[in-house]
Structure formats: C-alpha cells, structure tokens
Amino acid sequence: MNNIPTWQAVLAVDSRCELGEGPQWHASHERLYWCDILGKRLHWLSPATEKHGHYPLDQKVSLAAPLDDGNLLLVGEHALNRFNPTSGHIEKLYDFEADNPVTRSNDARVDRHGSLWLSSMGKQAEPEAGSLYRLHRGELCKLRTHLTIPNALCFSADGKMAYFTDTPTGQVMRWALDKQGWPLGEPKRFVDFSGHAGNPDGAVIDSEGCMWLALWGAGEVVRLNTDGQMIGRVVLPVNQPSCPVFAGPDLETLYITTAQEGLSAAQLAQTPTAGSLFAVQTGIKGLAEPPLRLT
C-alpha cells in the first residue's frame, strides 16, 4: 500500500450536499453536473470559468445524463425526466418504479452503446429492495433484482464488460456483455473489499482501462487494474466519498462527490466540508462517455 502512487484531493466546490452523487461530465455544455439526492438539488460547475450553481428539484434525483439532443435525462426516484438546463423546463418521459413508494433511484451510468444502466434501492436501504435496469433506445429492461445498495456501475472501454457492486456485500462484480451491450450469463467477482476499510460505492473507468472506486467510510478512492489489484489511491479530507468522474475538456481532472449523510454533529465539526465536491490531478485521463440515446 505504501508503494503505490497516492494523491491528495482538494476542495473544488464547497457544496456540502447531504448525499452528493452521480457526477457526470456534459461535454457539449462544458459543465460537470452532480446531484444532492436527499437535498433534491442538481449542482453544476463550469471548470473553465469556475462558476457553479444549482437547480432545485421536485424529487430525489441521482444522475443527470447528457442526451444526444443537448438536454439532460434526470434519473429520479419515481420518473425519468428530460431537463433543459437553459430554460429549466422538465418533461416526464418514463415512470421509474412509480408504484413502489419504498424505493428511489441510485447509481446510474451511460454505457458504450449510449444506453443507460440505472438502479433503485430502498429509501432506508431496506435489504434486497433494489433492482438494476438498462434503458436501451427508450425501453426499460430489468436486469437484476434483490439488490440492497447497487453501485459502481461502469464499463470497459471496449464495451465487453460491465461492473457493479451491491455495496453491503463488499464485492465488486464483472459482467460479460454481448455486442449490443446486454449481459451474458452470470456476473463474476472482480474484487473483494469485504475485509477492507470502507465500502465500495461509485466507480469510473479511465483511459488505461483501470477502475477508480470510491470507498464510502474510508475517505479514499482507489485505482484498480484489470486484475483487481490496487495500484493507486486518492486520499480525501472527508470520510464519505460516493463517486468519481473524469471531467474537463481533456478529461484530465478527477472529481469526487461526497456526503454528509449519517454524520453526527461532532463528525461534521471535524470535517466541515463533508458533502462537497473535490478534485485531483493524477496525470491520468478519463474515457469520453457517449451521450444517452433514447431512440
């Protein structure tokens, strides 16, 4: 552990989200978007100008995925909505577990085919209340059920592998995909963090095919090679990193969302920037992610 490269993340936006999640680079807008799921806000940052702000939302939203028409798809607790960040107009496109008051959306990411993998979980993390879906060309298909806190959705550069975790298990899984991006057979264990400090949360793949995985509770994001070996780590000044993403025109900056959720007053006093957005320059670039295609 002492011999691997280690970087220190620094504060990028003092947003102090209750549950910061779903960071997503919108290349055509040159904006980074991320969500405060529990605070019902969509935050944004323009790295070029360092301007930032947020939009209030009417439901818990976990991702704002860029659409190929330049708008955003908001992945919400009971609906998937098209959102125009210029006008503020919101249009409902699809129901999402609208008949299930127990659940909300959680982790989500666009795959190499321009389709969206998205998940649900219990609002109180009820065991096995969550599911995993794929939104492919406007059709929502359920891929897996009986998940508690699905996370770490990301995809190999060649589109042949999907990764995910059910956070309480500590296991990150790897799932082979066919040429259209659909799962083949059963997922297999990629790496086991059950004996490691922190729990696996959000993840992203870099331009070298390695995974950057947030470890909730451990205050770090680790870099894993394709064999699941830890080859780098980012240390944060807060304990609950939730998800990393590469952003900026050249995808050279790793941004990391964090959370205040569940922290005591004493813990918040010790880590006042918990829930904020952090950034680090590692010298490693990210992979461009395609916009979401609905048709």
pLDDT at 2: 60
**Tokens 């205050």, residue located:** 219
- Whether 201 is a known active-site residue: answer yes
pLDDT tens digit sequence for 280-292? 999 999 999 999 9
Answer CATH for 6-281 from 3.40.228.10, 3.40.640.10, 1.10.3720.10, 2.120.10.30: 2.120.10.30
Active-site residue, from 36, 166, 201, 206: 201
Find, among 50, 22, 5, the residue nearest to 289 by Cα.
22
3-state SS class at 167:
helix
Q: Give the helix, strand, coil percentages of the chain, each rounded to 5.
A: 5, 55, 45
Domain segments of the chain as ranges: 6-281
- Annotated binding-site residue? 239: no
- Annotated binding-site residue? 151: yes
Q: What residues of the chain score a pLDDT lower than 50?
A: none
pLDDT at 1: 52
3-state SS class at 139:
strand
Q: Does residue 30 contact residue 253 with C-beta atoms inside 8 Å?
A: no
Instruction: Starting at the earlier edge strand, list the strands of the sheet with 116-122.
Output: 103-110, 116-122, 130-136, 139-147
pLDDT tens digit sequence for 79-137? 999 999 999 999 999 999 999 999 999 999 999 999 999 999 999 999 999 999 999 99
- Annotated binding-site residue? 201: yes
Q: Does residue 111 contact residue 95 with C-beta atoms inside 8 Å?
A: no
**Cα–Cα distance measured from residue 132 to residue 261, given in angstroms and rounded to the nearest whole number:** 23
- In our burial notation (b when 16+ CB lie closer than 10 A, e otherwise), range 184-196 reads eeebeebbebeee
What is this structure's pTM? Answer: 0.97
∠ Cα 25 252 69 (to 5°): 25
pLDDT at 153: 98
- Annotated binding-site residue? 106: yes
- Annotated binding-site residue? 104: yes
3-state SS class at 238:
coil
DSSP string, 240-282: -EEEEEEESTTS-EEEEEEB-TT--HHHHHHSTTTT-EEEEE-
